[in-house]
Structure 1
């Protein structure tokens, strides 16, 4: 029963925002379908496209939080709904060049400017996964002193302005994101990422890396310990700015017309400012992912 509840919670976190933004775009989608039925033009086909995918994955990787480990089968499973939809500048995209797309959901936005080799978008997306101390303690069925009594660190959703640069099979992007209006975390972050795809036989291999820089407010919300939260297991901690560096390799291989196999490895490094937090146990995290994706 407990495993079922935990799995449902994870599915809710993964799919919830994606489903909400999909519902937000339903009026535009319905209007687009009506246009397609009324006007048989090639122009519409150029301005509207969509794809829905379901991902089932098994992944392994330590949590940076102290005394939080993968122990139950539910810790290794992830079920994700991935939507790619483009209509007259509006988009929902799963960002499937990255393995984190399996667990963090979609990006929703509008293209402010698009050129042959660069673009500027405004978008909303999840930048930080967040965690619920009470749920983590319940899953282990024992106390975790460093987390006991802490409030939930909610998912870090943000509004961002993105600049992207395209070059053959590579893309470089930089996001300037504000968490103030969509998240309790407050503050801002800068996310820089580069990704390039290589083709080998039927394999699509994506190699990428990036750095995410966090403001004081973001660091304080996720990694700080306030005076009222101090215990014998948690000392006071007021962090300054910090960053996270990521390198990843992600590959897809078509099994059939509808199914494809996916695999990935991600190496994450957290700065010393994050590593010194009483809540954090390790600065280097390696994650492995194996899964299948079904295209509707």
Structure 2
């Protein structure tokens, strides 16, 4: 049932993408900040530093709650090389270094690094005997297409090459971001899907009969490919020219192939953790 829901949301997202593109191309083109920041003839950038409160729950770590710093920024050199960081938005989340090589009025293309899956550290407590299973982060080389149409941004990412020698496979994502202006408030809503191939998920969640200690405590398991679905809503209010108040909430529904892994289930139930990911933040930020 959950897989069908994921596929339905993916089809819905792609339908919205097609509909939005057709409607927006008929109207007057306006470049947004995203395109300006990614123009290959553009040199410069911005840095936004924030401080506030964040609450995050997920299956992999203990609940994170309390005061924290927020960072969002981007700098591009005139030749097209750039570095960007964003840690509280669905769109372009993470630290990336890349090269912007193609631009049109509405679309731009670049290559960059992307984290296809983070570190995985599972500690097994079996009658006071402790075992640890660790899996390294997977960084991949990705092609990204970003389209900006007035207050709507579409983004597609395709990553076929892994920098982690232990992993292989394909990572892909699609996102739709729409913002609205309500007096002095800016409101946005985002929907994103992430696809990981079978080979990629096998490295993190498979249990094979190869003589390893995991087979003693868990049944064998081979995951298929999987789709994560993330929704996010947020608001911002300009306090002054450089100061901004922001609030957001995002929720990620993880793929069935991850949920069904005995390793994942042990890690979530053993420590009483959520089987999905949610994050809420309130912050005051300053833009340089």
Q: How does 1:181-192 map to 2 (within 5 A)?
A: 181-182=163-164, 184-192=166-174
Q: Is the 8 A contact 1:155 1:183 kept in 2?
A: no
The change in CA–CA distance for 1:197 and 1:179 in structure 2 (over 3 A counts) is same
2:131 to 128, 149, 164: 149
Deviation at 1:195, TM superposition (A): 0.7
Kindly report which structure 2 residues correspond to 1:18-97, keeping only aligned pairs within 5 A, or say none. Answer: 47-65=42-60, 68-70=61-63, 75-88=65-78, 89-95=80-86
Q: What is the Cα deviation at residue 49 of structure 1?
A: 1.4
Distance 2:164 2:52 in 1: 28
Of structures 1 and 2, the one scoring higher in RCO (CA 8 A, sep 6+) is 2
Q: 1:217 and 1:233 mapped to 2: Cα distance?
A: 23
Say which SS state the counterpart of residue 132 (structure 2) adopts.
coil
- Which of 268, 271, 282 is residue 290 of structure 1 equivalent to? 282
Output the TM-score relative to the length of structure 1. Answer: 0.68
Q: 1:291 to 1:132 in 2, by over 3 A?
A: farther
Larger strand share, 1 or 2? 2
Aligned residues: CA RMSD: 2.9
CA distance in 2, matches of 1:128, 1:98: 17
- TM-score between both structures, scaled by the size of structure 2: 0.70
Equivalent-residue separation in structure 2 for 1:200 and 1:144 (angstroms): 55
Give, in whole Å, the separation in 2 of the partners of 1:266 and 1:144.
35
Q: Alpha-carbon deviation of 1:100?
A: 7.5
2:176 alignment partner in structure 1: 194
Residues 1:226 and 1:284: Cα distance change in structure 2 (over 3 Å): same
Matches within 5 A, 1:224-239: 224-227=206-209, 228-230=212-214, 234-239=218-223
Residue aligned with 1:56, SS: strand
| 1:208 corresponds to which of 176, 187, 190 | 190
Q: Relative to structure 1, is the Cα distance of residues 215 and 91 closer, same or farther in structure 2, using a 3 angstrom cutoff?
A: same
1:80-137: CA deviation from partner (whole Å, max 9, x where unpaired): 4433112222222335782586xx5332211221111112211113343334346xx9
| 1:108 and 2:97 are equivalent in the alignment | yes
Residue of structure 2 in register with 1:255 after alignment: 239
Q: Which has the higher helix share?
A: 1
How far apart are 1:247 and its partner, in Å?
A: 0.9
Unmatched 5+ stretches in structure 2: 1-40, 269-273
Partners of 2:214 and 2:132 lie apart in 1 by 10
For structure 1, list consecutive stretches of 5 or more residues without a partner in the other structure. Answer: 1-45, 138-142
Instruction: Using the TM superposition, give the Cα deviation of residue 249 of structure 1 relative to its aligned residue in structure 2, in angstroms.
Output: 0.8
Q: Which residue of 1 aligns with 2:4?
A: none
**Relative to 1, partners in 2 of residues 1:185 and 1:123: Cα closer, same or farther, differing over 3 Å?**
same
Partner Cα distance (2:195, 2:54) in 1: 25
Counterpart CA distance in 2 for 1:55 and 1:186 is: 36
Q: State how many pairs are aligned.
A: 235
Specify whether residues 60 and 260 from structure 1 end up closer, same or farther in structure 2 by C-alpha distance, changes over 3 A only: same
CA offset at residue 248 of structure 1? 0.8
The 1:209/1:80 distance shift into structure 2, 3 A limit, reads same
